[in-house]
Amino acid sequence: MATVELRFSALPEHVRTARLVAAAVARRAGVDEAVLDEVRLAVGEACTRAVGLHQSGGISAPVQVSLIEEEKQFSIEVGDEAPHSVPGDKGSGAGGDADMDSEEDDMGLAVISGLVDDVEVTAGQNGGLIRMTWPTTPSIAVLP
């Protein structure tokens, strides 16, 4: 399993918690101190997007965040359970609000792709996943 997993109700007030946990685990995993701000921002954007998708879709399931420590890299996966329309489908919902939502959605993704070099966005009928990866430098254990 992931090093740390987090599931939270799709509410804006919990996004900050996800940011703090992600940054703490990233730091421990050896992500460069200078990059932690980016990790915090990127995970916040991904969670904000997931919360928005759950709320607008009336989905009661929690948002899932997996923090994965691997050799020489650290990954964060943020998963939502909103059914994403596949290309060719006309988007669900109606009216101007849907446009507005998708604009904000795009802004979040724009920030993520501007910040993170290694990012993968997948989406299907059962939900979407954003996977972001950063390199780590192995920490030199300082023993007392």
Task: Enumerate the β-bridge partners of residue 79.
Answer: 64, 129
Place of tokens 């290694």: 118
Q: CB of 128: closest distance to other proteins in angstroms?
A: 17
32-51 positions binding other proteins, by CB under 8 A: 37, 40-41, 44-45, 48, 51
Pseudo-torsion of CA 113, 135, 4, 138, nearest 10°?
-160
Least spacing, CB of residue 90 vs other proteins, in Å: 25
Question: Closest Cα to residue 63, out of 40, 77, 39, 47?
Answer: 47
**98 is a contact residue toward other proteins (CB under 8 A):** no
Taking CB under 8 A as the rule, does residue 52 contact other proteins?
yes
Q: Which residue has the tokens 């998963």?
A: 79
CB of 109 to other proteins, least distance (A): 9
Residue 115 binds other proteins, judged by CB under 8 A: yes
Bridge-based pairing of strands 4-8 and 127-135 is: unpaired
Binding site for other proteins (CB under 8 A): 12-13, 15-16, 19, 37, 40-41, 44-45, 48, 51-52, 104, 107-108, 110-111, 114-115
